[in-house]
Amino acid sequence: MKIVVLAGGISTERDVSLVTGSMIYKALVNRGHEVVLLDVYLGYEEENYSDIFSIKRDWSEKIGAISSQNPDISQVKAMRKDNPECAIGPHVIDICSQADIVFLALHGQNGEDGKIQAMFDLLNIKYTGTNYLSSALAMDKAISKEFFVKYDIPTPKGITLVKGEQVNWSSFPCIVKVNCGGSSVGVYKANNSKELTDALEEAFSFEDRVLIEEFIEGREFSIGVIDGKALPIIEIAPKVGFYDYKNKYQAGSAIETCPAELPEHVTFAMQESAEKVYEALRLCTYARIDFRMDSNYNFYCLEANTLPGMTPTSLLPQEAAVIGIDFEGLCEKIIEISMNKYN
Ligand SMILES: Nc1ncnc2c1ncn2[C@@H]1O[C@H](COP(=O)(O)OP(=O)(O)O)[C@@H](O)[C@H]1O
Ligand SMILES: [Mg+2]
């Protein structure tokens, strides 16, 4: 197949997306596909793109590792020769139109939030992953929470605040997080009201809508769902602090165990809950659902990720490996189930 792997962008998860993209690119090349890896924001500036799939080059050669901090987007914007405020780079649409399918390796805003999906629907470009509406629902943590409550899916108690609104919260420790973030960028733990004030100030520098949630002391899990069916559960145990940006992407920062060591009935209940989240948020194809669990085995859903990290050591690929699906096979499977959307 002719496949464009679309990555990069200008969200806070740009670097993670580029690594996800380069890994998917390599896997699909190994499987014999004709693949182009494209940065959705920087695009392709040369004019010779009419037969881009026949250009022989390694499209992933310039992509580095994920640093310990999220990237400086102003530096990326300075590289754009045309309009830096346009989220779609030169020739991206024309190149994607030549593909049989676009593999979305984007994370965060303008990629995971449904906007690209809606645009591709209008342009008749096929893409991997769930549709625009479920992408938008899952990206918005406050709206997702309303769905979890409506469908009896356990979720931490919390409130939503809009910038400038009076804060009425007195239970500590708590978590402050931006409404549409990802990769733990804009997520803070506050142990008292002074830390809460500071955390809110930080969070409001990213977004105008922020959540405060009760802090669920205990363990952390994530569950991939493919085509409506839950994968084995993975447990993530950061060595220091919570599962923040650094602990997510610096090798060795967290111990990951799959299948997670849990009583059978708890495993079953959490997997069932992940499948319920998938249905409640109208998800299709695949997603990864995050949970916390207290010492009494009460689990709480934090959020659904519609374009989860996809390097061979990311959580969802580790879960798939446990049931015998290797990374290349997983990339192929995602294409296959995504094509089914169009039948
Ligand atoms: N209510 C909570 N209790 C305890 N830890 C939390 C809570 N909410 C978030 N966290 C921690 O912050 C991390 C990021 O939060 P999450 O809601 O998954 O946002 P995202 O992954 O989109 O940045 C989680 O993986 C978890 O470690
Ligand atoms: Mg998360």
Q: How far is the CA of 248 from the centre of ligand 2 (A)?
A: 10
278 pLDDT tier (thresholds 50, 70, 90):
very high
Domains of the chain: 2-127 (3.40.50.20), 139-153+217-340 (3.30.470.20), 158-214 (3.30.1490.20)
Instruction: Look at residue 317 in the predicted model and tell me its pLDDT.
Output: 97
Of residues 33 and 73, the one with the higher pLDDT is: 33
Cβ(153) – ligand 1 distance below 6 Å:
no
- Please classify residue 244 by burial: count the beta carbons closer than 10 Å to its beta carbon, then call 0-12 exposed, 13-18 middle and 19+ buried: middle
Each residue's pLDDT tens digit, 77-99 = 999 999 999 999 999 999 999 99
Residue 155, classed as helix, strand or coil, is coil
Question: Which atom belonging to ligand 1 lies closest to the Cα atom of 305?
Answer: 22
Q: How far is the CA of 290 from the centre of ligand 2 (A)?
A: 6
**Least confident segment among 67-71, 97-101, 333-337:** 67-71
Q: Which residue spans within the chain are E strands per DSSP?
A: 2-7, 34-39, 101-104, 158-162, 174-178, 187-190, 209-214, 219-226, 229-230, 234-238, 254-257, 286-293, 299-305
Q: Which ligand number lies closest to the CA of residue 141?
A: 1
| Ligand 1 binding pocket includes 222 (Cβ within 6 Å) | no
91: CA distance to ligand 2 center in Å? 32
Q: Assign 293 to helix, strand or coil.
A: strand
Q: Which amino acid residue places its CA nearest to atom 24 of ligand 1?
A: 243
Q: Using a 6 Å cutoff on CB, does residue 181 contact ligand 1?
A: yes
Higher pLDDT, 63 or 135: 135
Mean pLDDT of 312-323: 95
Task: List pLDDT tens digits, range 170-189.
Answer: 999 999 999 998 888 899 99
Mean pLDDT, the chain, as a whole number? 95
Short-list 177, 280, 293, CA closest to 233: 293
Alpha carbon of 302 to ligand 1 centroid (Å): 6
| Ligand 1 binding pocket includes 303 (Cβ within 6 Å) | yes
pLDDT, residue 7, reads 97
pLDDT score for 264: 98
Dist CA 342 CA 88 (whole Å): 24
End-to-end CA distance of the chain: 17
Is the separation of the CB atoms in 304 and 287 below 8 Å? yes
Find all residues with CB under 8 Å of 141, minimum gap 6, and list them: 177, 179, 180, 181, 211, 303
From the CA of 90, how far away is ligand 2's center (Å)?
32
**Number of residues that make up the chain:** 343
Instruction: Tell me the pLDDT band of 236, cut-offs 50, 70 and 90.
Output: very high
Residue 173: cis peptide before it, omega within 30 degrees of 0: yes
Nearest-ligand number for the alpha carbon of 302: 1
Phi, psi of 203 (to 5 degrees): -65, -40
pLDDT at 29: 97
How far is C-alpha 232 from the geometric centre of its chain's CA atoms?
A: 19
- In the predicted model, what is the mean pLDDT of residues 135-145? 98
Burial 88-99 (b: 16+ CB within 10 A, else e): bbbbbeebbeeb
Where residue 219 falls among pLDDT bands split at 50, 70, 90? very high
Cβ of residue 184 lying under 6 Å from some atom of ligand 1: yes
Asked whether residue 63 carries a pLDDT value surpassing 90, the answer given is no
Mean pLDDT along residues 200-205: 97
pTM score over 0.85? yes
The ligand minimizing its distance to the Cα of 12 is 1
Q: Which residues contact 117 (CB under 8 A, 6 or more apart)?
A: 104, 127, 129, 130, 131, 132, 135
Counting beta carbons within 10 angstroms of the beta carbon of residue 341, is it exposed (0 to 12), middle (13 to 18) or buried (19 or more)? middle
